[in-house]
Chain A
């Protein structure tokens, strides 16, 4: 069994074999994303009750918290792919890391932006330089640094090496973001939900937040699979399988255009 599994992993770690697999997975994850998003947004706006202290403005947590969680999770996954790419020289892992970065950056920006909109009515300010807010901003810079480092180096293998190293070093920021509200005095409140404590929010509010989180998660998988398929085609455009896929002759040159077989 273990041997069979490892053969499957090995098989699908080849971009050529992963490309069609990703194509098959995309519609399923689209379906999950849409269902979860519709249910989650309906619960967020119409079912979840008004908060006793913050009134209606608290509803932004249904975007803010899932976005912040995803921003950290995506970074962690990206760094794991970077380690696999650096240590085992798996090209697909490098491609996955590059495919994850833009979505991670988007969720980080979304968390910061919704947080600012929330901060004004509740705290009285859009921004303070407290440890939580600042470390999340550093996360955004790490994503931007990763993306720009990759586009600055032409050779994909060297680019993956440099940006992968940056991703791995940046992992140190994740526990800082997560524990910042415990380690230092911050304006940002402590965690309402954590693995070691009873949640400090009503069940329906928690359920809604978790559904939104899964919706964002599934969305991330869809977008990353779509993006990694494009990256595979771009980086493998000189290979015979990509040329065959696009119906070009082996001498067909670029292989970027042409009809699908």
Chain B
């Protein structure tokens, strides 16, 4: 074995050892590395009791209600299996919307999650505004005319 080969072997073995170590550490930390907890896990008791944690999921459609003070909002967060009601007083981020992802920080108070901070989580889709409008139009037409062929064609832009 040449010295060069020995050095290579040393590096490779070292790398393999480090990878295993990193994998073990990450596995052990797995739950702590998650930024937020889903409603299902919260209801299963995985969330810390009487402590602040982050709840994440989608805002349920038509669940957003504003109180008269204009700042306090109520909405529901779901992971499509379970749903938790959330209350928050403050300014919501621009991308906050029903049907969108959200990460809220706060505590459970008698079945309701009292949030002190609400962050919007956006998805990985990017498309031109015009295309989104066309898709929406097409969707509407589809619903109007049922699933018949030709009815769902995307209208031409002027």
CB–CB A87/B7 < 8 A:
yes
CB–CB A189/B36 < 8 A:
no
Which size bracket describes the interface of B in this complex? Answer: 35 or more
Question: Count of A-B contacts with CB under 8 A?
Answer: 115
Return the chain B residue nearest A194 by Cβ. Answer: B124
How many angstroms from the CA of A192 to the CA of B127 in the assembled complex? 11
Looking at chain A's contact residues, the main secondary structure is: loop
6-64 of chain B: CB within 8 A of chain A: 7-8, 11, 14-15, 18-19, 22, 26, 30, 33-38, 56
CB–CB B15/A189 < 8 A:
no
CB–CB A172/B129 < 8 A:
no
CB–CB B119/A202 < 8 A:
no
Residue B128 at the chain A interface, CB threshold 8 Å: yes
What is the CB-to-nearest-CB distance from A197 to chain B, in angstroms, rounded to a whole number? Answer: 10
CB–CB B128/A50 < 8 A:
yes
Looking at chain B's contact residues, the main secondary structure is: mixed
Most buried by A among B7, B34, B122, B129: B122
Residue in A88, A122, A131, A183 whose CB lies within 8 Å of B120: A122
CB–CB B26/A168 < 8 A:
no
Residue in B30, B38, B122, B130 whose CB lies within 8 Å of A54: B122
CB–CB B7/A86 < 8 A:
yes
How many angstroms from the CA of A123 to the CA of B94 in the assembled complex? 8
Indicate with 1 or 0, residue by residue over A25-66, a CB within 8 angstroms of chain B CB atoms: 000000000000000000000000111111000100100000
Contacts A86-B7, A128-B35 given; does A61 touch B126 at CB 8 Å: yes
Number of residues on chain A facing chain B (CB within 8 A):
40
Residue in A54, A87, A187 whose CB lies within 8 Å of B4: A87
What is the CB-to-nearest-CB distance from A81 to chain B, in angstroms, rounded to a whole number? Answer: 13
CB–CB B18/A169 < 8 A:
yes
Residue in B11, B26, B56, B94 whose CB lies within 8 Å of A86: B11
Residue B74 at the chain A interface, CB threshold 8 Å: no
Task: Given contact pairs A54-B95, A124-B96, A189-B122, enumerate 16 new A-B contacts (beta carbons under 8 Å).
Answer: A121-B93, A121-B94, A122-B122, A124-B93, A124-B119, A125-B117, A128-B103, A168-B15, A184-B35, A185-B36, A185-B37, A185-B56, A189-B123, A201-B125, A202-B127, A202-B131
